[in-house]
Amino acid sequence: MDLLKFRPIVQLAFLLFAILGVVGVGMTGFIYPFFFCYACPYAVASCPIGILEHSVIDMKGNLWAGLQLLAYLLAGFAVVGLLFGRAACGWACPIGFLQDMIDIPRRGILKNKNEWTKIRGPGKFLKFAKYGFLVFVPISTYISNELFYTRFCPVGFMTGTLPTLILFPGEWEVAPGPDFYIKIGTTIFFLLSAVAIGRFWCRFMCPIGAGFGPFNKFSLFRVEVSDKCVDCGMCTKACPMAVDPSVEHRSAECIICGKCVSACKFDACKLTINPVATRRRMGGPPKKRGEVIQRDITKEDEELMERIQREQEEEKKDISDDEDIGGDDDAEE
């Protein structure tokens, strides 16, 4: 059974869960395990970033109250993280879902020219920016004594401000302040970056993704690559987060979406629920980039690899033919 087919349904279900206020469910006192603004008129839980900011402000007035709020947030994060790692990003977060939806037409148009959008080289450094934002949230709150990050949060604009203005147009009568325009700017940046580079926000900007990432090392639910791997590279090609699961074991970047599992024709890549925390690839020693694999390759493997190589070459040829035709057209113009 290809689990991946159910992912959009699960993502949609979590979006509906996030706005259960539509059917009269009030604020529950829980925290969303993803990015979603509690300013949404139908929100039923709190945004983790908002809670982090409130805990810092509370601490300044009443240390114990602030610490309790922070402990509640961290405990919730630890439970979700230890069970599911960053799977909430791949399966539950409405903002991840939005980026996946933006990705569909982009992938259709770009075909495998999509590869360049993964910006693998710069991505190795840019991915640390999100940890910077995670640290920035409490520090900026402490210094400014206000919900500073919230002032320019595009997620707050998309899931809080915008639905409020659509559902309660009377709010437009209140003259918008500078924060409103800053958020419009960051939201435009979010959308343009999502169009240009798949899951840009999740890879480089999101403090919640940064918070969940390290849990991938210990989580019950995860992706494992076994020694059936023949290094064909199809998994990393399919990965929206530019991870190579055959090399980067339990990467903090992995959102456990399962795309690599569907892409692997050798049954080597699997979504697993395993209480034993492995630190290396299943069934063998950790493999380094470019290392020659140890296992015997069967005749069937060879045939499959040849077929994959043929398909890849045909795809490349199709693209270069398209480019030639485009180039000829340009020349004729």
Applying CB under 6 A, which residues contact ligand SF4?
Answer: 34-35, 89, 93, 95-96, 201-202, 206, 208-209, 223, 225, 229-235, 238-239, 241, 243, 245-246, 254-260, 263-264, 266, 268-269
For ligand SF4, the closer CB: 70 or 225: 225
Give CA separation, 119 vs 62, 163, 225, 242, 276, in Å: 45, 33, 24, 8, 33
Question: Tokens at residue 40, please?
Answer: 């949404």
Q: How far is the CB of 90 from ligand SF4 (least distance, A)?
A: 6
Residue 15 CB, nearest distance to ligand SF4 (Å)? 12
For the bound state, the minimum distance from the C-beta of residue 247 to ligand SF4, rounded and expressed in Å, comes to: 9
- In the complex with ligand SF4, which residue's Cβ is closer, 143 or 192? 192
First to last CA, the chain: 50
Give the CB-nearest residue to ligand SF4: 209
Nearer to ligand SF4, 151 or 237 (CB): 237
- Tally the C-alpha atoms within 13 A of residue 60's C-alpha that lie toward its C-beta: 13
Helix (H) or strand (E) holding 150: none
**Which token pair is 219?**
């989580």
Smallest distance from ligand SF4 to CB 313, Å: 17
Give 157's DSSP letter. I
As a whole number of angstroms, the distance between CA 219 and CA 111 comes to 33
* Nearest to ligand SF4 of 56, 263 (CB atom): 263
- Collapsing DSSP to helix, strand or coil, 207 comes out as helix
Comparing CB distances to ligand SF4, the nearer of 66 and 284 is 284
Closest distance to ligand SF4 from the beta carbon of 77 (Å): 11
Tell me whether residue 69 or residue 257 sits nearer to ligand SF4 (CB atom): 257
- In DSSP terms, which residues pair with 271 in a beta bridge? 223
Q: How far is the CB of 124 from ligand SF4 (least distance, A)?
A: 15
CA 148 – CA 301 distance, rounded (Å): 55
